[in-house]
Amino acid sequence: MVAEKAADSTKENNKQLDVLSSTQTVVKNALEKLGYPDEVYELLKEPLRMMTVRIPVRMDDGSTKIFTGYRAQHNDAVGPTKGGIRFHPNVTEREVKALSIWMSLKAGIVDLPYGGGKGGIICDPREMSFRELESLSRGYVRAVSQIVGPTKDIPAPDVFTNSQIMAWMMDEYSRIDEFNSPGFITGKPIVLGGSHGRESATAKGVTICIDEAARKRNIEVKGAKVIVQGFGNAGSFLSKFLHDAGAIVVGISDAYGGLYDPEGLDIDYLLDRRDSFGTVTKLFNNTISNKELLERECDILVPAAVENQITEENAHNIKAKIVVEAANGPTTMEATKILTERGILLVPDVLASAGGVTVSYFEWVQNNQGFYWTEEEIEEKLYQTMTKAFNTIYNTAETRRIDMRLAAYMVGVRKMAEASRFRGWV
Ligand SMILES: NC(=O)C1=CN([C@@H]2O[C@H](COP(=O)(O)OP(=O)(O)OC[C@H]3O[C@@H](n4cnc5c(N)ncnc54)[C@H](O)[C@@H]3O)[C@@H](O)[C@H]2O)C=CC1
Ligand SMILES: O=C(O)CCC(=O)C(=O)O
């Protein structure tokens, strides 16, 4: 009996942490609230295409290692699919599928002419040499080359991938295409057709959401205590922006642990010492765990690392008044409910982290037109896009008396549902 109960509770816990099924539940709720028939949900609950590839890489020790990778294309009714590529040991097929659905929702929320796509390779780039990483990146592009391209599916950076990896991938695709194809991928170095502001775009978008959310809750960002989980692309730029705006960044973390100081951390020093994978805490002895960090005292909490960090286990202990999700999928559905009931304003991932794909879109447009904008122009366009999206979703949540995640899904799903209907798919 006891063993049966324990097995049931493990099953329930695994279900809550399955990002695909929880995303499907919210998509279903959003479509029902919008009055769409069940067949629209049947179409949108899974990607239209999912490719699994095996990539052989000759390692530096002379052995050959076979890596598994994925590319999911959720829905291309609105336009080509778009979304990052993740290199991480925990990548799974279901995770990549969920990430592609989130990309569709983001494109809908910030009104881009795209559907969602996402890729991932099961690997640990922190343990690979530069040459092995180049070989893996080029091998992945060769393996998925038939289904990607500037008018089909446009990749970008995500966890543990960066502008160098985008450059190798663009070069490999250009060789296959026998044409210089900068619009194949975004997040490239500026000299290869990258856009000003793309590197910091995700964090900029999150900063704009924090400003808007703080205004709604009468909190001054200047002087507010902030914890940021993750010190990579999203988390490190965000910490810098908030620090420069006068917020007190009291906590940060990476995959190995967290740092907390109620008086505020020396962000410039930490930025200077972090490595290219967003690791910095290994240099310190007085670290705490990621779990502890999330529960420490602060006004604003920003998970900017990986999925399933705020769950029903710790949601009751979160001290922040505002939680802004820079990461994809950091809060489970059960935790969303708990935080909302506790009066904590939760700004969901599909809205808060949409700055990255927004500037990726600007990069793609600049590649297509062959004319490039200044950083100021990009920043202004990003600001307009993010504030409009935030307020549309905030007002939808208020009017309908629902949480901001469901409101964001309702706003995000509508365009692809309509486009699929007009195309006669449902
Ligand atoms: N880079 C981008 O443009 C965008 C990123 N995101 C999301 O933001 C999140 C972070 O992505 P990036 O900053 O780009 O990645 P990154 O690779 O630059 O940094 C990842 C950070 O998370 C930490 N981390 C990794 N595994 C962890 C774990 N198990 N527990 C705690 N920390 C861990 C790493 O140490 C590092 O500090 C991800 O969820 C990603 O999907 C969302 C939109 C766009
Ligand atoms: O910049 C992009 O196209 C995609 C970024 C991404 O993967 C994300 O928003 O999760």
Q: Is the CB of 195 under 6 A from ligand 2?
A: no
Q: What average pLDDT does this structure show over 181-210?
A: 98
Tokens 């998509």, located at residue? 27
Q: Which pLDDT tens digit goes with each residue over 342-371?
A: 999 999 999 999 999 999 999 999 999 999
Q: Where are the beta strands (DSSP E) in 261-312?
A: 300-303
CA distance 404 to 414: 16
Nearest partner of 405 among 299, 295, 321, 323, judged by Cα: 323
Cα 160 to middle of ligand 1, angstroms:
7
**Position 258: which residue type?**
G
- On the question of pLDDT at 9 being above 70, the answer is no
Query: Which has the minimum average pLDDT: 4-13, 34-43, 343-352, 398-407?
Result: 4-13
Contact 203, 238 (CB under 8 A): yes
β-pairing verdict for 153-157 and 115-122: unpaired
Structure tokens at 160: 């543990």
13 is known to lie in a ligand binding site:
no
Q: In what order do the strands lie in the sheet with 153-157?
A: 49-58, 64-73, 115-122, 81-88, 153-157
Q: Is the CB of 357 under 6 A from ligand 2?
A: yes
| Residue 6, pLDDT score | 56
Q: Catalytic residues, which ones? A: 118
Q: Is the CB of 153 under 6 A from ligand 2?
A: no
Q: Provide the pLDDT confidence category of residue 334 given band limits of 50, 70 and 90.
A: very high
392 is known to lie in a ligand binding site:
no
- On the question of pLDDT at 278 being above 80, the answer is yes
Q: Is the CB of 255 under 6 A from ligand 1?
A: yes
Contact 70, 51 (CB under 8 A): yes
Cα 275 to middle of ligand 1, angstroms:
13
**Model-level pTM?**
0.97
Please count the other Cβ atoms lying within 10 Å of the Cβ belonging to residue 374. Answer: 10
Q: Which pLDDT tens digit goes with each residue over 135-179?
A: 999 999 999 999 999 999 999 999 999 999 999 999 999 999 988
311 is known to lie in a ligand binding site:
no
Ligand 1 pocket: which of 306, 347, 358 to mutate (most atoms within 8 A of CB): 306
| Residue 15, pLDDT score | 72
CA distance 401 to 395: 9
Q: What average pLDDT does this structure show over 21-50?
A: 98
- On the question of pLDDT at 4 being above 80, the answer is no
Task: Check residue 179 and report its DSSP letter.
Answer: S
* Residues 332/334/335/339 CA torsion (nearest 10 deg): 140
Q: Which pLDDT tens digit goes with each residue over 318-328?
A: 999 999 999 99
Q: Which residue has better confidence, 167 or 1?
A: 167
Contact 303, 230 (CB under 8 A): yes
Q: Is the CB of 84 under 6 A from ligand 2?
A: yes
Cα 426 to middle of ligand 1, angstroms:
36
Farthest CA pair distance, the chain: 68
Tokens 């410039």, located at residue? 268
